[in-house]
Structure 1
Amino acid sequence: MSLLEMNTDLFRLINNLGKEYTLLNPPMIFIAEYLVYFLAAIVLAFWLTRKERNRIMIICGTITFVFAEIIGKLSGKLYSNHQPFAELSNVNQLIEKTVDNSFPSDHTILFFSFCVSIWLFRKGLWFLLIIIACLVGISRIWVGVHYPADIFAGAIISVISATFVFNVLPKLKLTYRLLDFYERFERLLIPSSTKTKGTKSKDL
């Protein structure tokens, strides 16, 4: 069996579950479409703590996402495919999506970039965010807009990018200088009554 056939068969296996277990379709649609707002809320909450470690973490996540997106777009030039609903028959398509190159999955890159970055900094139960990222990837297959290969490629690109950024960016003095410059400007607009900078402050 070729990799292409395995990719299609695995897509069918997951996507057809939506036909058999219709009660799971609404939560899968919600995860595929709207869980991104939950991720945005977590990122914003960490940033608003004004704690240096949290902000470096979010900066790493953002740089990881940009870096992974660039790699993803380059990968899409080497290999491309349209969404499954545009290429296959009898697909259980549950959300609307413009037909374009779906390799790799941008949703997966976004979630894995931030979720892996947060876990690398905080460890422990924050590993649950990676589980959520995996669930988002599965949901995108369930609703018919991505192949498993799109998800797998997006996850691998993001994990490698997050690991690289985590091991490089926090060690650069320029990172802290730029953050300090931003925070000076921020304090002019939104004064803080307490000192929350550095490792002396309690983590979120």
Structure 2
Amino acid sequence: MDRGLLKTTALAALSTAAAICLLYFFADRAVDLAAHTLKDSAWYAAGKSLSLLADHHLFNVLLFAGFVWAGGAALGRGLSPRVRGILYCCLAVAVAMIVGDFLKWCFGRFRPELLFTQGQYGFSFFADNYNQHSFPSGHTLRIFSAATALSLLWPRARLPLLTLAGLVGVSRVVVTKHFPSDVLAGAFVGLFCALWAWRIMRGDGVDKGQEINHEDG
């Protein structure tokens, strides 16, 4: 067990939870009501386009392709650095998606659309309805897990990768699919799922800064 990462995760979880509470009570509704006025604007169109980068159908296809390719390559040539890197990225994103889906069901938070149309705001808990799966943001946790994983493999690309992830997260508020606290929770889940997957995979040969496009050997 990595006590350093465990401590960092616990402190970040407490800080994130506190920030989520503040956003929930003092900012979420006002921000999304303001974002609702942007519908049909250029900002809304830009947000829709950015959101496509973390579309769940796209990520499902990428994960399937990644696991199949890496599995086949591992059987044929063994766990080369490239194969381990791809497996790590797929594992980080897959775990984040599983955790996110579980949390969505547990919390059952009403999406902004229900605030606009029915005045509903809050949590229903253990919900199966799409409109009650606002927390955490799935797009945000997908893009943050992928960006964090790739930035650990390619440290020089960390800033643009995480900047892009942040923009995708903001886009989910702009298109009024999520509240700011949903996005913050998604970023936390994605980031730390990738960090823990990294910690686990390092024991299997994924080393810091090792680019997955290196020649196998």
Give the TM-score category using the shorter length. 0.5 to 0.7
Post-superposition Cα deviations, 1:27-59, rounded to whole Å, max 9, x if no partner, equal 221112x2247x8699979x79x8943432221
In structure 1, give the amino acid aligned to 2:30: D
After TM superposition, the score normalised by the length of structure 2 is: 0.62
In structure 2, give the amino acid aligned to 1:79: F
**Aligned with 2:195 (options 157, 163, 178):** 163
**Aligned with 1:22 (options 41, 52, 56):** 41
Separation in structure 2 between the aligned mates of residue 132 and residue 12 of structure 1, nearest angstrom: 24
Separation in structure 2 between the aligned mates of residue 75 and residue 157 of structure 1, nearest angstrom: 10
After TM superposition, the score normalised by the length of structure 1 is: 0.66
Matched, 1:75 2:94: no
Tell me by how many angstroms 1:11 deviates: 2.8
Where does structure 1 differ by over 6 angstroms across 4 or more consecutive aligned residues?
39-45
Matched, 1:149 2:168: no
2:54/2:140 contact within 8 Å kept: no
1:17/1:142 contact within 8 Å kept: no
> Matched residue of 2:133: which SS?
coil
Gaps of 5+ in 2: 1-20, 74-78, 120-129, 207-213
Q: Which sits farther off after the overlay, 81-90 or 56-65? A: 81-90
* Greater Rg by CA: 1
Aligned Cα RMSD in Å?
A: 3.6
Gaps of 5+ in 1: 92-97, 176-194, 199-204
> Matched residue of 1:145: which SS?
coil
> Matched residue of 2:131: which SS?
coil
Q: Which sits farther off after the overlay, 71-80 or 131-140? A: 71-80
2:145 alignment partner in structure 1: 113
In structure 1, give the amino acid aligned to 2:154: R
Instruction: Count how many residue pairs are aligned between Structure 1 and Structure 2.
Output: 167
Q: Report the CA distance shift for 1:161/1:42 in structure 2 as closer, same or farther (over 3 A).
A: same
Tell me by how many angstroms 1:9 deviates: 2.3
> Matched residue of 1:24: which SS?
helix
**Aligned with 1:5 (options 15, 21, 26):** 26
